[in-house]
Chains A and B, each alone.
Chain A
């Protein structure tokens, strides 16, 4: 009986160990950064619906969404992007290793995104035309990294 118990315990330990080992690398970081992306998409959805004319322009709601977008940009998420946490290490991510390469220009691209989010923050509460005018800049900002550092999707 003792032997059987010991065997079972060992098996359980071994199984648990395996389960942990099978956890894909950087799974938590990747989940967290994808959550931030989704948070941005939801706030952009508020702005975009007004820009497209699907929702009535609401200065307060637009300002709030733009403030949220800016807050998500200024958040220090550097710990979520460790070297090697790319698509080849874990297919749950669509980030390309090129992002971490020397001279990738990631800093300039991040700065361009922050500038575009700031422009949106300044425009969103003014009027609908200002909001619409700032959408393209934000799109370019997002696209800056998505074009260069994301697994191509057509």
Chain B
């Protein structure tokens, strides 16, 4: 009897150890960025393509205020309300003291410099597909932006979602860097896929989520209800989005729909980013959208 108990206890300890090992934060190798040199001008393009300001600047920011990444926007969800952190260059309140690798680990692995899991409201599930070169360039551009001393607010998340280690399980289930749209893509469509699936993180809103908050990749870009809010994110697969490529490009440039209404809600902020991309990048996104599998 004692033997059985001891064996069971030993198994439990091993099981727990394996469990903890499985859900541990998994940063990039220390030399992941070796040999990469930063290009600030490219980094600015990455900044707009990745939409950093849409969440990290004040929601009402216009013009240069968009470059003050002081955080504070609130994102309600079924798991609680998340509050965007300060990612300005302030060394205390922001991320001014981070290394390039810290930023790469945050964006691509969802791991903070002190080894904690980030909540996936931060779209590392998409940024995981980014090129390391883009992260290094982005870091160089972020370093040119103004510091802001606004302290971070705590997320308003209750038990059990406040146990960050559980996010390791979420990552095991849902975090992967595989492209959703595969097959024979043109160079333009491939660029569009990179912009839409990785940097632009379109799927974070336009792909519905399952009960655990993972993106339902079988319904990629098929839209769904706004979590803990009113309304819904539209289906932008070819099954529902009947806009021509020229319509999509115009929308991503000026914000005008084919009816000449203007973009609304959070999408208006997204258009402010896409408007700053080179025209060929907006063309590429439109070309990619036409290759997404139609989902009713």
Contacts and interface: CB of A to CB of B under 8 A. Distances in A.
Contact of B250 (A42, A51, A150): A51
Interface stretch (B101-109, B152-160, B167-175, B226-234): B226-234
A150 B253 contact: no
A152 B264 contact: yes
Interface residues of B, number: 29
A52 B246 contact: yes
B264 A153 contact: yes
Contacts of B60: 148
B260 A143 contact: no
Given A147-B264, A153-B265, A44 B246 contact: no
A139 B233 contact: no
B119 interface: no
Interface string A109-138: 000000000000000000000000001101
B254 A136 contact: yes
A74 interface: no
Contact of B254 (A45, A138, A148, A154): A138
Q: Is the interface of A mostly helix, strand, loop or mixed?
A: helix
Contacts of B231: 152-154
B263 interface: yes
A53 interface: yes
Contacts of A41: 259-261
A139 B262 contact: yes
Interface in A49-93: 51-54
Given A135-B250, A138-B254, A139-B254, A40 B260 contact: yes
B275 interface: yes
Contacts, number: 72
Contact of A143 (B232, B234, B266, B268): B268
A142 interface: yes
A147 B271 CA distance: 11
Interface in B41-79: 60
Contacts of B122: none
Contact of B226 (A146, A150, A154): A154
A139 B253 contact: yes
Contact of B265 (A53, A135, A152): A152
A48 interface: yes
Contacts of B254: 135-136, 138-140
Nearest to A142: B262
Given A136-B275, A143-B255, A147-B268, A48 B250 contact: yes
A150 B263 CA distance: 11
Nearest to B245: A52
Given A41-B260, A136-B254, 10 more contacts: A41-B259, A48-B256, A52-B244, A53-B246, A142-B255, A143-B268, A143-B271, A146-B261, A150-B264, A154-B231
Interface of B: 60, 226, 230-234, 244, 246-247, 249-250, 253-256, 259-269, 271, 275
Considering the complex of A and B, which 7 residue pairs feature the smallest CB-CB distances, nearest first? A139-B254, A41-B260, A52-B246, A44-B260, A152-B265, A139-B255, A153-B264
Interface of A: 40-42, 44-45, 48, 51-54, 135-136, 138-140, 142-143, 146-148, 150, 152-154
28 contacts: A40-B260, A41-B259, A41-B260, A42-B260, A44-B256, A45-B259, A48-B256, A51-B250, A52-B247, A53-B246, A54-B246, A135-B253, A135-B256, A139-B253, A142-B256, A143-B255, A143-B268, A146-B261, A146-B263, A146-B264, A147-B268, A148-B60, A152-B230, A152-B265, A153-B231, A153-B264, A154-B265, A154-B266
